[in-house]
């Protein structure tokens, strides 16, 4: 055998010949099934490791869900208690408002009764003075003098009842004078009414009694503090009767 042929034969079938690998043929679905099994085991192992890590760290999902459920239940109970307390508070406020309204109405009724009682006393004194008597003097009385702000700025209304007591042989004739105490621009002042040209509206003439009503004007920025009424008899500078009414 030629040397070259012998050398090639040794290289192919001798000790230095290349190794042969024998592979067994496996179907693709078996390989896919094996891959799925390996992945499932990996996922299960990862979930177990995750749960084990949470337990090791002190966190348990079931315990957390139980605590969360208890918290929700407690929150629901607290909401119900809050609603019940709010209803009680609203009922208490309604009761207090009713009581306040009743107290206000009672206060108004008491004030009305007091005013009515005072008016009745004034009426009693008025009719008592209308009755002639031997011991009654010829005095002049002023009843129910009031002064209040009118509808226009600076306007005030006043009213009073004049009564002549004792035996009345002739009518009383005279005139009224108003002294208005006010404050304007930080200064106190007193205005005497009537002004010139308005004296006729302040004249009075009556035998038994006379109701007097009227108005007067001051500066819109003035604050009236007191009004005093005086009664003079014709031919005399002496004041026959006087009365004051405070507005502030």
pLDDT tens readout for residues 77-135? 888 888 888 888 888 888 888 888 888 888 888 888 887 787 777 767 666 655 555 44
pTM of the model: 0.48
Taking CA 40 as the corner, what is the angle to CA 34 and CA 43, rounded to the nearest 5 degrees? 145
Of the candidates 197, 192, 189, 191, which has an alpha carbon nearest to the alpha carbon of residue 232?
192
Q: Is the pLDDT of residue 228 over 70?
A: yes
What whole-number percentage of the chain has pLDDT above 70? 73
pLDDT at res. 231: 94
pLDDT at res. 232: 93
> In sequence order, what are the residues at sequence separation of 6 or more whose Cβ sits closer than 8 angstroms to the Cβ of residue 42?
none
Give dist(CA 111, CA 117) in Å, integer. 10
Give dist(CA 110, CA 99) in Å, integer. 16
| 42, 53, 55, 188, 209 from 47: Cα distances, Å | 9, 10, 12, 95, 111
Cα 165 vs. chain centroid, distance in angstroms?
A: 54
pLDDT at res. 135: 46
Domains of the chain in sequence order: 140-246 (2.60.40.10)
């Amino acid at each position: 055998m030629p040397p070259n042929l012998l050398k090639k034969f040794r290289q192919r079938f001798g000790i230095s010949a290349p190794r042969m690998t024998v592979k067994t043929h496996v179907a693709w679905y078996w390989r896919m099934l094996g891959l799925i099994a390996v992945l499932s085991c990996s996922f299960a192992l990862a979930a177990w490791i995750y749960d084990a890590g949470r337990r090791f760290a002190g966190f348990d999902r079931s315990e957390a869900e139980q605590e969360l459920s208890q918290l929700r239940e407690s929150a629901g109970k607290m909401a119900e208690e809050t609603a019940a307390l709010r209803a009680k508070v609203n009922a208490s406020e309604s009761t207090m408002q009713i009581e306040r309204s009743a107290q206000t109405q009672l206060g108004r009724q008491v004030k009305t009764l007091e005013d009515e009682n005072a008016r009745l006393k004034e009426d009693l004194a008025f009719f008592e003075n209308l009755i002639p008597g031997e011991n009654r003097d010829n005095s002049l009385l002023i009843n129910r003098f009031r002064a209040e702000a009118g509808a226009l700025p600076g306007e005030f209304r006043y009213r009073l009842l004049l009564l002549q007591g004792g035996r009345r042989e002739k009518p009383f004739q005279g005139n009224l004078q108003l002294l208005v105490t006010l404050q304007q621009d930080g200064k106190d002042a007193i205005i005497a009414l009537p002004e010139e040209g308005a004296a006729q509206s302040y004249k009075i003439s009556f035998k038994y009694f006379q109701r007097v009503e009227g108005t007067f004007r001051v500066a819109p920025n003035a604050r009236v503090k007191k009004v005093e009424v005086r009664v003079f008899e014709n031919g005399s500078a002496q004041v026959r009767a006087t009365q004051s009414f405070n507005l502030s």
